Structure 1
Amino acid sequence: MSVSKAEASEYHSKDFNWETLRQEIENDPSLNYHLLPFNSPQPEEQHSNDSIKAWQNFHVQHSSGKFFKERRYLLKEFPELVSCADGSKVLEVGCGNGSTALPILRGNEKIILYACDCSNETLERAKEFIAASNVASVEHRLHPFYCDFATTGFPKFLACDYCREMFSCKDQNCLSDVGEKRTHETDSLSMEERSCCVGGVDFVTLIFTLSAVPLQTMPTAIRECFSVLKPGGLLLFRDYGLYDMTMLRFESDQRVGFREYMRSDGTRSYFFCLDTARNLFISAGFIELEIEYCCVKSVNRRNGESMRRVWVHGKFQKP
């Protein structure tokens, strides 16, 4: 088995039962503080501003691109990115150093990827990282741009007001055909050649991005993703799950909300249960296709410690 296939198999496996883990955690008195209610005293706007600055500083500090590994398992988890129509458009939200963008571009040479991040420095590193990988025609298929989608929304070049209105009417000319393979001649046009916008996207990927957004702004952020998707388009979601190992390592004074924590560098992380994730997306108008815990046991090579990782995997469709 190749390295990439081995990694995909590992990340897709079910090494332990989440309910068993839940019972263990909730019966451990030393971890009881994770279960307590929490009321945040800070206003929502302050949460958002602080979070943006913290992530910008984080990306500057880890600008070498070595902090995150290429997420080769994504195409196994989300095979729609490989089988979709030629010229399908993907919006990757929170692209970081390109660890998600690269396998998507590798896996489908006909896909067009719009990748955004809240750090201009990180976008430059992502472009360098992907350019060095020699992916076919990447200069024509990758369109990185600066955006903090949770506070300012997506730029109009993705979907103008007219297109967003048409999406809500489910015009047949606007429907996504993510499951078919046919060439869209207009999709080969550059943004400069278009009169207004690219006409919306067929996929939105939220891969370990939503958890970095303050909980209060998540509904707005998800509605923004919904607004630029064509009817029938898919939102592909993967993020930290409740009782993941990293959650249990946070101290009580690092809590900034219920199931929400702040690291020493000011970056945030929220840990999703299935119901919370499901309700967020359904409330925004999505239809649930898949949602489950992905439970993976791995071993730290340095100290031999067994680590139980929990992620939430989900697929949601715009009607």
Structure 2
Amino acid sequence: MTSEFIESTPDVDTALDPIIKETKPPLDSRIGKDAPFVFGQRFLQNENDVFNHNAWDNVEWGEEQINQAKEMIAKQYEEPVRDYEKSLFNANPAKYWDIFYKQNKENFFKDRNWLKIEFPLLFEVTTKEYQEPTTILEIGCGAGNTFFPILSQNENENLKIFACDYSKVAVDLVKSNEIFELQHDKGVAYSSVWDLANEQGELPEDLEPNSVDFVIMIFVFSALHPNQWNQAVSNLSKVLKPGGQILFRDYGRYDLAQVRFKKGRLLQDNFYIRGDGTRVYFFTEEELETIFCKDGGPFNKIKIATDRRLLVNRKKQLKMYRNWLQGVFKA
């Protein structure tokens, strides 16, 4: 149930300016050497250069920018989703993800090769030198844009990787891939339909309790209704072994995708329905820490950080701000 696309609506107000940042060493010298949260390497040094490139990294927000985003979101409350439609969208969310993957198949998302930079541990455990038994669980695998880049470069004979999704159509796409079939026969790759927030506390097919070293959740948690968060965290605690880690990336509050929503899209505070019927929530760092670490458990925060990008439409001279959150939590 992964999604990274932007609602197709008119462009947002572009009068918000970034704070200039200092440059960092070349990217090639950093891959695999830093901890996660190395967001990017192109920093705006001079505001006059803003339209010289398509994107700038790690752009800070000022008070004016935040206030403008709040004003745009306030307008969404004037005409939210009608009550009977809320029940319709919340009753069977898997239906809309099935439709999404039937229409888009594996062609919508690009392979997430940036994982090597943001979460280098995933690639350390797939090297030939790393022979420790390791189990990876990707939740919300979609058509395999995270799963297959990891699987295709794996040289660890003791690796197992599970790809699960809420959508049966998505899982069928993964299973139909020749790479999956080959690696499944070797006992490396597994895939099944699994609801992260299932109330029965059931685990993914073929997965032993408390056996996972790394859980990957990329733009997944945002698809859950807020009343499902506690159950989802409980289920995560059942799959991770002591010391296991959750590698998390999702939408941040005031992201472009949030402020662009128009009338008839707001389900409740910071929670929306897209035009295709799929749902999305926009988090703050404080919310994530409360969800995963409240009352002393079940997880400890290793790190939570915000990734802010300034995207530029050079032809139209427009600025568009993206805001994602990234976290690592330890069982």
Normalising by structure 1, we get a TM-score of 0.74
SS state at 1:275 partner: helix
Q: 1:127 to 1:34 in 2, by over 3 A?
A: farther
Counterpart-to-counterpart distance in 2, 1:28 and 1:81: 35
Counterpart-to-counterpart distance in 2, 1:158 and 1:286: 20
Cα distance, 1:82 vs structure 2: 2.0
Alignment of 1:270-289 (within 5 A): 270-283=281-294, 285-289=298-302
The counterpart of 2:189, out of the listed 136, 142, 154, is 142
**Is the Cα contact below 8 Å between 2:218 and 2:249 reproduced in 1?**
yes
Tell whether 2:238 aligns with 1:227.
yes
Residue by residue over 1:79-126, the C-alpha shift from the partner in whole angstroms, topping out at 9 and shown as x without a partner, is: 111223533101100100101112222343323210111222222222
**Is the Cα contact below 8 Å between 2:192 and 2:204 reproduced in 1?**
no
Farther off after superposition, 69-78 or 147-156: 147-156
Alignment of 1:160-199 (within 5 A): 160=209
Tell whether 2:95 aligns with 1:49.
no
Q: 1:225 to 1:28 in 2, by over 3 A?
A: closer
Partner of 2:114: 73
Q: 1:109 to 1:12 in 2, by over 3 A?
A: farther
Cα distance, 1:142 vs structure 2: 1.3
Partner of 2:221: 210
Partner of 2:163: 115
Q: 1:230 to 1:9 in 2, by over 3 A?
A: closer
Counterpart-to-counterpart distance in 2, 1:89 and 1:297: 36
Partner of 1:299: 312
Counterpart-to-counterpart distance in 1, 2:112 and 2:235: 25
Tell whether 2:173 aligns with 1:125.
yes
Tell whether 2:272 aligns with 1:261.
yes
Residue by residue over 1:44-66, the C-alpha shift from the partner in whole angstroms, topping out at 9 and shown as x without a partner, is: 99765332211121111111x11
Counterpart-to-counterpart distance in 2, 1:34 and 1:316: 35
Tell whether 2:326 aligns with 1:313.
yes
The counterpart of 2:206, out of the listed 133, 157, 171, is 157
Farther off after superposition, 290-299 or 91-100: 290-299
Two-structure CA RMSD over aligned residues (Å)? 3.4
Counterpart-to-counterpart distance in 2, 1:97 and 1:156: 18
Counterpart-to-counterpart distance in 2, 1:91 and 1:45: 31
Tell whether 2:265 aligns with 1:248.
no
Could you tell me which runs of 5 or more consecutive residues in structure 1 were left unpaired when the two chains were aligned.
Answer: 165-199
Q: 1:105 to 1:11 in 2, by over 3 A?
A: farther
Farther off after superposition, 304-313 or 294-303: 294-303
Q: 1:40 to 1:113 in 2, by over 3 A?
A: farther
Q: 1:97 to 1:11 in 2, by over 3 A?
A: farther
Cα distance, 1:18 vs structure 2: 4.0
**Is the Cα contact below 8 Å between 1:40 and 1:257 reproduced in 2?**
no
Farther off after superposition, 138-147 or 228-237: 138-147
Which amino acid is 1:72 matched to? Answer: N
The counterpart of 1:58, out of the listed 80, 88, 100, is 100
Counterpart-to-counterpart distance in 1, 2:303 and 2:40: 14
SS state at 2:216 partner: strand
Which amino acid is 2:224 matched to? Answer: V
Counterpart-to-counterpart distance in 2, 1:66 and 1:301: 26
- Kindly tell me the number of residue pairs found equivalent between the two proteins: 272
SS state at 2:192 partner: strand
Farther off after superposition, 147-156 or 218-227: 147-156
**Is the Cα contact below 8 Å between 1:34 and 1:259 reproduced in 2?**
no
**Is the Cα contact below 8 Å between 2:59 and 2:309 reproduced in 1?**
no
Tell whether 2:80 aligns with 1:26.
no
Which amino acid is 2:104 matched to? Answer: H
Residue by residue over 1:160-198, the C-alpha shift from the partner in whole angstroms, topping out at 9 and shown as x without a partner, is: 4xxx5xxxxxxxxxxxxxxxxxxxxxxxxxxxxxxxxxx
Which amino acid is 1:157 matched to? Answer: D
Counterpart-to-counterpart distance in 2, 1:137 and 1:274: 37
Which amino acid is 1:51 matched to? Answer: P
Tell whether 2:218 aligns with 1:238.
no
Q: Which has the higher helix share?
A: 1
Counterpart-to-counterpart distance in 2, 1:43 and 1:150: 22
Normalising by structure 2, we get a TM-score of 0.71
Q: 1:24 to 1:108 in 2, by over 3 A?
A: same
Counterpart-to-counterpart distance in 2, 1:29 and 1:43: 25
Which amino acid is 1:279 matched to? Answer: T
